[in-house]
Amino acid sequence: MKKILIAVALVVGWATASPAAEMINGAGATFPYPLYSKWFDEYSKLHPEFKFNYQSIGSGGGIRQLTERTVDFGASDAPMNEEQMKNAPGPVLHIPTVLGAVVITYNLPGTPPELKLTPEVVSQVFLGTITKWNDPKLASLNPGIKLPDQELLVVHRSDGSGTSYIFTDYLSSVSPQWAQKIGKGTSVNWPVGLGGKGNEGVTGQVKNTPGALGYVELAYARKNQLPVVSLQNKEGEFITPTIEGISAAAAGASANMPADLRVSLVNPPGKKAYPIAGFTYLLIYKDQPDEKKGRAMADFLWWAEHQGQKFAPELLYGPLPPEVIERAEKKIKEIQYQGKPLLTPQKPG
Amino acid sequence: MAKVNALSGRKPRRRISGDLIFKRATLLAALSIPLFVLGSAIELTRGAGEAIRRFGFSFLFQTSWDPVNLKFGALPFIYGTLVSSLLALLIAVPISLGTALFLAEIAPWWLRDPLSFIVELLAAIPSVIFGLWGIFALAPWLRSTAEPALKRTLGFLPFFQGPAYGIGMLAAGLILAIMILPIITSVTRELFLSTPVPLKEGALALGASWWEMVQAVFFPHARSGILGAIILGLGRALGETMAVTMVVGNRPQISLSLFAPGYTIAAVLANEFSEADSNLYLSALIEIGLILFLITLLVNGAARWLIWKSGWAAAKGGSGP
């Protein structure tokens, strides 16, 4: 018995004595989680001395945990608002990591995919003024298609979500009535429609209910082979959501990006731009409390903005356009420890 | 040995015996539950403080839920919680009682145990699975078959009007009914099985039919127990989250129609809590949680009082032990 105890003690001692990788904790948005997982995995292979742990609890949760300093970095689709910035114990940098698109999907058996819609029609559907599929406004946009006399069931998100934020941001910018009555947010007071939980919930509802129409992240529509709407952009072109369309949206908006990079990408200028796109941000304190961890995060962010971007398209995320990467680089250089910048000096080129 | 000190008259200190430790430990365990309940109530009230100060009593009667303009009202959620739970009870209680009676009295010996086992297995299924089944099996069936049929036959009643999407209060009530069935059935079955045989045989010997015997012997004997079982089921229905949020439609509205979507307290907490982005929003959600806490206390308290009352009436001279 004694011998077994000694053996166990030795094994435990050996296991805990060996150098463990430094743990860096983050939490936040669910939307970029698949890509962030891939990134952390790839980066750990290059730098095994650091291990990243990310909990996808939602953008709001990520912001809250960052404010409480229980995590080293946060992640959010919607940038922090003024109240949240004030509540944070220090200045927070918003680093855009990838692009996402919100698409409008529907279930209308017998109709070909890629219905055309304009911003006015979309806002009227979500405001509840258009209630049937064969409404003349819908029919006039799609002359070759016979739309049935069926109730149009709207499906939105029941949980608070960055996808909802981007979508309601879009509706607010194209419809003054929506902006005034409802506004934008991760959760809003939807005038009509059922709520589905998560992108999966909305996708499930739309798939199972003939006559349903809802909004989901691009990847969900693609993976479930759901028809998507070709949406008219600011320049009047009908754009089908693709990675190129998303990048075009970002490039168009990046000229007017504010210094802190908290920007909205909806309804941007640009002929090829898809109207409903958005950044997802990684949130990090400007003044880092721990030098080693701070440097690790700065280096990781640099890698993510450059080498990491190539992993985005295969997972159906939009890589950042060069103008945005340039501005993100400047932000990463601002991360500091006690006044001195943390980013490991990069070789040029 | 408790000796008394001859000089000072004080009892000497008790030896720390195993018995003492055991008694103290069980006391601690027993106290921990009320302490936990009290602690939860205090934390909930503290968290809800901002919303209580801002909205006061009108929170209970307002119907708008607007996180952007920060106007919150709990009435749709209270309504949805109560209606879905009541609907579940209405459907589940007759079925449960019937099943329990069948298992206790009528089922042949070779059927009794396997059937009881299957009913109890229903309780072990995670609620997410019920939710998935609800979305992919129940809701489509409701939309294509059951709800149109109800509309055709009972459509004059306000409960069966409006567009039928499958998802809605009826789906939530049905799923909750299935989830509380095993609880009520197994408790009631045990009660029925424990009915004293002499009472049963006495009634039959006096010429009662089987159904008359059940009415005269089973139900009075098991009355308070059945009530307890129903309260257990109701408790589960009030707090059930995942299965409900997947089929109830998640729309904070009050509508008489069972086809309409609705919202329950547990569902809105599950959906919106982690993304609540302002202090008032968070506080309003916590206040809704506090309301559910109070509803549960009220319902359980009322049930306890009913059980106590019926037990007292029975002791005074009603039938049964």
Q: Is the pLDDT of residue A13 over 80?
A: no
Exposure of A107 in the CB half-sphere (CA atoms within 13 A): 17
Q: What is the pLDDT of residues B51-72, one digit of tens each?
A: 999 988 899 999 999 888 888 9
In chain B, which residue's Cα lies nearest the Cα of A29?
Answer: B275
Domain boundary among A194, A225, A256: A256
What residue type is A7 in one-letter code?
A: A
Phi, psi of B48 (to 5 degrees): -80, -5
Contact check, Cβ <8 Å, B250/A182:
no
Q: Could you give the domains of chain B?
A: 76-278 (1.10.3720.10)
Name the DSSP class of B160: G
Q: What is the pLDDT of residues A162-175, one digit of tens each?
A: 888 899 999 999 99
State the smallest CA–CA distance between residue B250 and chain A in angstroms.
5
Residues of B in contact with A183 (CB under 8 A): 68-69
The confidence band for B321, taking pLDDT boundaries of 50, 70 and 90, is: very low
CA–CA dist B258, B98 (Å, integer): 25
Q: Is the pLDDT of residue B232 over 80?
A: yes
Q: Is the pLDDT of residue B317 over 50?
A: no
Residues of B in contact with A204 (CB under 8 A): 135-136
By C-alpha distance, which of A191, A60, A128 is closest to B64?
A191
What residue type is A334 in one-letter code?
A: E
List of residues 6+ apart from A332 with CB closer than 8 A: A95, A298, A301, A302, A305, A343
Within-domain flag for A346: no
Q: Is A115 in the same domain as A165?
A: yes
Instruction: Look up the CATH number of the domain holding residue A122.
Output: 3.40.190.10
State the smallest CA–CA distance between residue A184 and chain B in angstroms.
7
What residue type is A244 in one-letter code?
A: E
Domain boundary among A256, A286, A312: A256
By C-alpha distance, which of A74, A98, A59, A339 is closest to A218?
A98
Q: Is A132 in the same domain as A142?
A: yes
**C-alpha torsion sign, points A174, A176, A180, A181:** negative
List of residues 6+ apart from B301 with CB closer than 8 A: none
At residue B313, the pLDDT reads: 59
Exposure of A148 in the CB half-sphere (CA atoms within 13 A): 12
By C-alpha distance, which of A99, A135, A100 is closest to A120?
A135
Contact check, Cβ <8 Å, B140/A153:
no
Domain range holding A143?
101-256
Within-domain flag for A140: yes
Q: Is the pLDDT of residue B299 over 90?
A: no
Q: Is the pLDDT of residue A261 over 90?
A: no
Mean pLDDT, range A258-279, rounded to an integer: 86
Q: Is the pLDDT of residue B15 over 70?
A: no
Distances (CA, A) of A32 to A93, A264, B254: 18, 17, 36
What residue type is B19 in one-letter code?
A: D
Q: Is A42 in the same domain as A113?
A: no
List of residues 6+ apart from A289 with CB closer than 8 A: none
Within-domain flag for A91: yes
At residue B241, the pLDDT reads: 93
Within-domain flag for A267: no
Q: Is A242 in the same domain as A323?
A: no
Contact between A147 and A109 under an 8 Å Cβ cutoff? The reply is no
Within-domain flag for A347: no
By C-alpha distance, which of B234, B92, B258 is closest to B159?
B258
The confidence band for B294, taking pLDDT boundaries of 50, 70 and 90, is: very high
Q: Is the pLDDT of residue A279 over 70?
A: yes
Exposure of B321 in the CB half-sphere (CA atoms within 13 A): 10
At residue B273, the pLDDT reads: 84
Pure H helices in A175-321 = 176-181, 198-208, 218-223, 243-254, 291-305
Distances (CA, A) of B167 to A318, B129, B175: 34, 16, 11
Q: How many residues does chain B have?
A: 321
Within-domain flag for A56: yes
Within-domain flag for A264: no
Q: Is A77 in the same domain as A132?
A: no
Q: What is the pLDDT of residues A106-119, one digit of tens each?
A: 999 888 888 999 99
Tokens of A257: 């990006």
Q: Is the pLDDT of residue A86 over 70?
A: yes
Contact between A320 and A98 under an 8 Å Cβ cutoff? The reply is yes
At residue B318, the pLDDT reads: 44
Tokens of A280: 């997802």
The confidence band for A349, taking pLDDT boundaries of 50, 70 and 90, is: very low
Mean pLDDT, range A217-243, rounded to an integer: 89
Q: Is B137 helix (H, G, I), strand (E, B) or coil?
A: helix
How many Cβ atoms are within 10 Å of B278's Cβ, its own excluded? 18
Q: What is the pLDDT of residues A26-72, one digit of tens each?
A: 998 878 888 899 999 999 999 888 899 998 877 877 888 899 999 99
In the sheet that A238-239 helps form, which strands lie side by side, from edge to edge? A116-117, A230-232, A238-239
How many Cβ atoms are within 10 Å of A192's Cβ, its own excluded? 16
Q: What is the pLDDT of residues A291-315, one digit of tens each?
A: 888 999 999 999 999 999 999 988 8
At residue A197, the pLDDT reads: 81
Q: Is the pLDDT of residue A252 over 80?
A: no
Q: Where are the beta strands (DSSP E) in B51-207?
A: 65-66, 71-72
CA–CA dist B180, B84 (Å, integer): 12
At residue A125, the pLDDT reads: 95
Within-domain flag for A36: yes
In chain A, which residue's Cα lies nearest the Cα of B264?
Answer: A158
In chain A, which residue's Cα lies nearest the Cα of B66?
Answer: A189
By C-alpha distance, which of B10, B192, B225, B38 is closest to B102?
B192
Q: Is the pLDDT of residue B214 over 50?
A: yes
Q: What is the pLDDT of residues B216-229, one digit of tens each?
A: 888 888 888 888 88
Q: Is the pLDDT of residue B165 over 80?
A: yes
Strand pairing class (A153-157; A212-217):
parallel
Q: Per 3-state DSSP, what percentage of chain B is helix, strand, and coil (rounded to 5)?
A: 75, 0, 25
Contact check, Cβ <8 Å, A188/B135:
no
b or e along B33-72 (b: 16 or more beta carbons within 10 Å of the residue's beta carbon)?
eeeeeeeeeeebeebbebbbebbeeebeebeebbbbeeeb
Contact between B267 and B167 under an 8 Å Cβ cutoff? The reply is no
Q: Is A73 in the same domain as A108?
A: no
Q: Is A188 in the same domain as A332?
A: no
Q: Is A325 in the same domain as A283?
A: yes
Phi, psi of A76 (to 5 degrees): -150, 145
Contact check, Cβ <8 Å, A205/B245:
no
CA–CA dist A274, A239 (Å, integer): 6
CA–CA dist B166, B155 (Å, integer): 16
Strand pairing class (A212-217; A92-106):
antiparallel
Distances (CA, A) of B17 to A335, B1, B2: 62, 12, 13
CA–CA dist A183, A189 (Å, integer): 9
Find the helix packing angle between B169-193 and B75-101, rounded to 10°.
Answer: 40
- Tokens 């009555």 locate to A181
Q: What is the pLDDT of residues B126-135, one digit of tens each?
A: 999 999 999 8
Q: Is A157 helix (H, G, I), strand (E, B) or coil?
A: strand
Domain boundary among A256, A288, A305: A256
A10-19, A127-136, B150-159, B305-314: least confident range: A10-19
Mean pLDDT, range B94-119, rounded to an integer: 92
- Tell me the residues of A at the B interface, defined by beta carbons under 8 Å apart: 57-61, 63, 78, 81, 83-84, 151, 153, 158-161, 182-190, 193-197, 201, 204-205, 208-209
Mean pLDDT, range B236-250, rounded to an integer: 92
Q: Is A121 in the same domain as A230?
A: yes
For a pLDDT cut of 70, what percent of chain A falls above it? 96
Contact check, Cβ <8 Å, B165/A57:
no
Structurally, chain A folds into a number of domains equal to: 2
Mean pLDDT, range B237-241, rounded to an integer: 92
At residue A15, the pLDDT reads: 58
Q: Mean pLDDT in chain A?
A: 87
For a pLDDT cut of 70, what percent of chain B falls above it? 92
